Amino acid sequence: MSVLFERVSIVGLGLIGSSLARAMKRHGLAGHIAGHARTAATRETAMALGFLDSVHETPAQAAAGADLVVLCVPVGAYAGVGRAMAPALAAGAIVTDVGSVKQAVIRDLGPILPAGVHFVPGHPVAGTEHSGPEAGFAELFQGRWTILTPPPGTDERAVLRVSQLWRACGSDVEIMDAGHHDVVLAITSHLPHLIAYTIVATATDLEEATQREVVKFSAGGFRDFTRIAASDPIMWRDVFLNNREAVLEVLGRFSEDLTALQRAIRWGEGDKLEEIFTRTRAIRRGILDAKQA
Ligand code: NAP
C-alpha cells in the first residue's frame, strides 16, 4: 500500500499505540514513525521491538514536523500531553486519538491545539486486557470498527485521511456524534467493565476458604469476568471519570433491571426469567452473525 502520511507521531506506546504503529509499518502507511512514552523503560522497549523509526523524550520532540499525531495515552493525560506538544505542531497537521471517551477529549484537547491544526477524534473499538508495548499486534484492528467523532466544522479532507488510515489497518469506519458515541460505549463497553470489576471485587472480599473455591471452579462463568476485570486500572479510572453522565445513566437503568430480576427470582416467576434469557441469547447470535464475536 502507498504511504498515507510522511511523518507520523505516536504519543503513548502501549497496547493501542504499538498496535497502530505495527499495522502502519506492516502496510507501509507512514514514511517515518516517531514515538513517545512517559518512561524511558517503555521508550527503550518500544524501540527494541522495531515498530518505530525514532523515539523521543518529550511529546513536542515526537510531534515536531509530523503531518499526523495520534494520541494513545489514557484520556486523563490528554491535557498535559496536549499542552506539551502544541507549540511543536505544524499548521496543516492532523491530530487524532484513540481514547475510549470522546466528549471529554474534545473538551480537553480542542482548545489547546493551535489554529490551523485539524483535530479528528477517534476510537478503535478493539482491545484486549493486556497493556504496554509488548501487548500490541498488527492485526488488532482487523474486522473491528473505528468510530470518528469530528466536531461540526472539522476539515473534511482531514476526516477522510484519518478514515483512510484506519481502513488501511483493516478497520471499518463510522462517523458519529461524540455525545452519541459516549452513550453507546457506556452500554457496550463501560458498563460491562464496571460489572466485571464489581463481581471480581465481591469475590475477593469473601472469606479465604470460599475464595480458593472461586478460583478452582472459575470455569462456571467467573473466569470470563476476571479477564475483563484484569484491564488496565489507569485507563479505566480515566474512562469512568470522563464519561460520568452517560455511565451513571446506563447504570441507573441496569440497577432497575437487576432489581426486576431479583423480584422474579424471589417470587418464582420462571416465565419471566425464561423470557429475558431467551431475548439475550438472540443478541449473542446477532454478534456472531456480525462477526464481532
Ligand atoms: P497502555 O497499554 O496502558 O499504554 C498507555 C501508554 O501511554 C504507555 O505507553 C504510557 O507510557 C503512555 N502514557 C501514559 N501517560 C502518559 C503521559 N502523561 N505522557 C506520555 N505518555 C503517557 O494503554 P492502551 O490500552 O494502549 O490505551 C491507550 C488509549 O487507548 C486510552 O486512551 C484508552 O482509552 C484507549 N483504548 C484502549 C483500548 C483497550 O482495550 N485497551 C481500546 C480502545 C481504546 P509509560 O508506559 O511510559 O507509562
Ligand 1 closest atom vs CA 41: 47
pLDDT in tens, 56-99: 999 999 999 999 999 999 999 999 999 999 999 999 999 999 99
Residue 265 grid cell: 427470582
* Cα-to-centroid distance, 251 and ligand 1 (Å): 25
User: Which residue among 9, 10, 11, 15 is best mutated to probe the pocket of ligand 1, counting the most ligand atoms within 8 A of its Cβ?
Assistant: 15
Strand 145-148, strand 68-71: pairing:
unpaired
Is 113 exposed, middle or buried, given 0-12, 13-18 or 19+ CB atoms closer than 10 A?
middle
Question: Who contacts 194 (Cβ-Cβ below 8 Å, separation ≥6)?
Answer: 240, 247, 251
Residue 81 grid cell: 500531553
pLDDT in tens, 134-177: 999 999 999 999 999 999 999 999 999 999 999 999 999 999 99
Q: Which long-range CB contacts under 8 A does 244-248 form with residues at least 24 apart?
A: 246/182, 246/183, 246/185, 246/186, 246/190, 247/186, 247/190, 247/191, 247/194
User: Which residue among 38, 102, 189 is best mutated to probe the pocket of ligand 1, counting the most ligand atoms within 8 A of its Cβ?
Assistant: 38
Q: What pTM was estimated for this model as a whole?
A: 0.95
- Just give the CATH number of 180-289: 1.10.3660.10
- Just give the CATH number of 5-176: 3.40.50.720
Domain positions in the chain are: 5-176, 180-289
